[in-house]
Amino acid sequence: MKTIAARILDGLNIPYELREYEWNEDELDAVTVARKVGLPPEQVFKTLVVRGDKTGVLVASIPGNAELNLKALAAASGNKKVEMVHVRELQALTGYIRGGVSPLGMKKHYPYYIDETAEIIDTLAISAGQRGMQILLSGPDLIRATQARVVPLTK
């Protein structure tokens, strides 16, 4: 089944692979997903939704084995500080639920930032927009598809 995210990539003629995996509520973290889809954790990017004190909601993707540097994201986005949105807000803001948030196809277009390591990764994975499915594509193709701002985002 094609997700909204996959249809967006189709429309942009960007090559990708859909990879399904077994999931459960206790194993939604990117490191576990990486193991299940057969990639190292640094190639499975988690998509995080944050709120800036000046700009409001923004989205960031970082490698699954890394921690988001909130100060770096705040500086890159023109905020004094940013904080993670609560999980209960995810669906209302993005149209996606925890474990299925994709940077492609959100219900509203938010400023999107991606860690600089994506520029040099031939194959990375992002959520396809539903639990149990990842999209594999090149980092440069993801950057092009999302028009992401590429900045250092990890600690």
Whether pLDDT at 1 is above 80: no
pTM of the model: 0.95
Q: Residue by residue, what is the 3-state secondary structure of the chain? A: CCCHHHHHHHHCCCCCEEEECCCCCCCCCHHHHHHHHCCCHHHEEEEEEEEECCCEEEEEEEECCCCECHHHHHHHHCCCCEEECCHHHHHHHHCCCCCCCCCCCCCCCCCEEEEHHHHHCCCEEEECCCCCEEEEECHHHHHHHHCCEEECCEC
The per-residue pLDDT for 24 is: 84
Where residue 140 falls among pLDDT bands split at 50, 70, 90? very high
pLDDT for 25: 78
* pLDDT average, residue stretch 117-141: 97
The confidence score (pLDDT) of residue 51 equals: 98
Per domain, the residue ranges of the chain are 4-151
Give the pLDDT confidence of 73-128 residue by residue, as tens digits. Answer: 999 999 999 999 999 999 999 999 999 999 999 999 999 999 999 999 999 999 99
CATH topology of domain 4-151: YbaK protein (3.90.960)
Count Cβ neighbours within 10 Å for each residue of 129-152 and write b for 16 or more, e otherwise: bbbbbbbbbbbbbbbebbebebbe
